[in-house]
Amino acid sequence: MRILLIGPPGAGKGTQAVHLAAHLSIQHISTGDLFREHIDQGTELGQSAHTHMSAGLLAPDEVTIGVIKERLARPDTECGFLLDGFPRNLAQAVALDDILADSKSRLDAVLDLDIPEAEVVRRIAGRRLCRQHREHIFHVDYSPPEVTGACDVCGGELYQRDDDRETTIRKRLEVYRSETAPVVDHYLAQGLVTTISALGQVREVLDRALVAIGQGQVDASGEWGC
């Protein structure tokens, strides 16, 4: 099965992608992971991506498309894949159609994660990271530290990233609406899109995704069921 997961920042795409790909035994393809892989290997694509990312810019379409094309050509994608973070605009969506057509395949489903803007702001703006260990992450509403401003694990100072401030979040949402939302329209015209609510617990959203693609859901005991 070949799936595209799409949605605004804060919709939980990364979390859902990991669980959904694992359940379906298909490859989870994240553009962020691919860029890091190419950068670490020093490939031409990786060097180009690094140049732009170091300047605080998005990698240009031709680089992103090149990275995805190379990944989809690997044998482990023959049984299926889940795309996370690509395509981010209409030009990339058209390029993906061409890549798949060349391999005589196509997407089976596009899952559009829907979430109110207010909830996106609440989810992202509430995040707090530990200055000593950035993998220690808290949330002022959902997982607050025992002592305000201090990491429960190491006692380090908690802080809010500039990218997580409300003004920045709203700018990111504007970019999503102008650049990425048209991708949904592109696939709606192909009859591939199912919109599912991204509200609720991780398992609840995963259930909706599995039902949407006709693969059952997680049963009451927490075990995977089809």
DSSP code per residue over 65-85: HHHHHHHHTSGGGTT-EEEES
Residues assigned a catalytic role: 13, 88, 127, 161, 172
Torsion of CA 48, 58, 28, 126, to 10 degrees: 140
Residue 39 CA to residue 32 CA, distance in Å, equals 11
Helix (H), strand (E) at residue 12? none
Tell me the three state secondary structure of residue 128: strand
Assign residue 6 a region: left if phi > 0, alpha if psi is -120 to 50, beta otherwise?
beta
The Cα–Cα gap between 83 and 156 comes to 35
Q: Are 118 and 10 in contact (CB under 8 A)?
A: no
Rounded (10°) CA dihedral 55, 61, 63, 69: 150
